[in-house]
Amino acid sequence: MGSYLWYLSRYRQYSRLRWKCRSLGIGFHAPAGNWGLTYGLYFDVDNISGSGGTFDPWARAIKTVPEHHPEYVIYAWHNEQRQLEPAKIYAWTGENWKEGSLGSYRGAKQEYSAGFIKYTIPKAALGYANSFYISLFTTGGDGPAQDTVPSDPNVRFTEPKWDANYFVTLSKFAFVQANYPIEPPNLKIITPEDGSYVNTPTITIKGVTEVDAQIIVGELQIDVDESGSFQFDYSLEEGENIITIIAKDSRGIENQVDLIIYLDTEPPELILHKEYDGMVVEEAELIIAGKTSLDAQVFINGQKADLQPNGVFTLTLQLQEGENKIEIKAVDRAGNERVKTITVTYNPPKESKNLGGIMGITFGILIILGAAAYVLGIKYGYIKKM
């Protein structure tokens, strides 16, 4: 962890290097140039003598001195609109250059503003090198380069000659000590979530790791794509499954995640407290009660029932006159379902209205008869006036 300033230009423009935990931050002045103007960074990893390419991966007229053959090259160039294209990174395989996108590395960034380029280069992009020599230069067209170190005797600070036979040898390299902490590669499982319950015997596991890593699951080896993402299918057994997923990077350092998934194909318990099917009721409200598995939820005609910790559930339904089809569904955490369908008929007591009318008429008749009897009783002397 540290911050370095490195002067790179005869105009006293400089590059700033800053180490972070997992990446190198590097910035340098880069005024917009003509079409084809390119900014290059050469990395001679750990100063390994004789390694790396002896020629430029873009076939530009650039050479390096024997003690500084680069293993990694980063290029960014201006297009016809003078816009900076996304940076390319090349790695020397021992026989040729392998092209890639700097942006494919997780955490990589390229920023260009006000004539200043800033890169965030993950350590995986440079093979986790703990130290290296670095050189910054500009090129144009298919012609030679211009080194940015003014004291370099091999570089002429004159107008470049765009002649493919005119080569510039880059001999000035600055030494950088990275002091990376030895960390395992990043490994994150995106789906499924650890501790999940599923009801299908085959699942798809998705995750992300470093672009230089390989995923190992038992005897299975899975390659990652250019962004570090991976996915694979895995067959489960009933009950608990412990899936050990290993990410192994180019250094041979491993990171391991144990993913626990439960396969449950048994539908949940669903018991009704009484025989509701075929019932005929006179009340519009019906209370449905029963019991289910402790990890399940119950839905009655789509409404979630109240559930007690012991699995007992209740729900009050409003019935419509006539037949009512009622679906009672229990769903457990794995997604298994058990369904019961019942029919309850609601017949409101219509006779209660007629009875009221009859009683009213009878009561009226009794009053009339009683009054007539009273009058007759007075007339014939059965009832004396007071």
Question: Distance between CA atoms of 327 and 344, rounded to whole angstroms?
Answer: 11
pLDDT at 8: 39
pLDDT at 217: 97
Domains of the chain by start residue, with CATH: 3-177 (no CATH), 187-263 (2.60.40.10), 270-346 (2.60.40.10)
- Beta strands 116-122 and 109-113, pairing class: antiparallel
- Entry pTM: 0.62
Closest by CA to 264, choosing from 289, 294, 291, is 294
Q: Could you give the C-alpha distances from 170 to 27, 146, 191, in angstroms and in order?
A: 20, 9, 48
* Beta carbons of 328 and 290 less than 8 angstroms apart: yes
Question: Distance between CA atoms of 328 and 339, rounded to whole angstroms?
Answer: 6
Question: Distance between CA atoms of 110 and 81, rounded to whole angstroms?
Answer: 18
pLDDT means over runs of 10, the chain (386 residues): 33 47 74 67 73 62 70 82 84 83 84 82 83 76 50 44 50 65 87 96 96 92 90 96 95 93 97 96 96 96 96 96 97 97 93 52 55 53 50
**Residue written as tokens 């790695």?**
91
Spell out the residues 6+ positions from residue 384 whose beta carbon is closer than 8 angstroms to its own: 378
Could you tell me which residues are beta bridge partners of residue 290?
Answer: 272, 313
Residue 254 in tokens: 């491993």
Phi, psi of 368 (to 5 degrees): -65, -45
Spell out the residues 6+ positions from residue 16 whose beta carbon is closer than 8 angstroms to its own: 3, 4, 5, 6, 25, 26, 27, 28
pLDDT at 133: 82
Residue 195 in tokens: 């501790």
Spell out the residues 6+ positions from residue 36 whose beta carbon is closer than 8 angstroms to its own: 77, 78, 140, 141
String of b and e for 75-107 (b: at least 16 CB within 10 Å)?
bbbbeeeeebeebbbbbbeeeebeeeebeebbb
Tally DSSP H helices, then E strands, for the chain. 1, 31
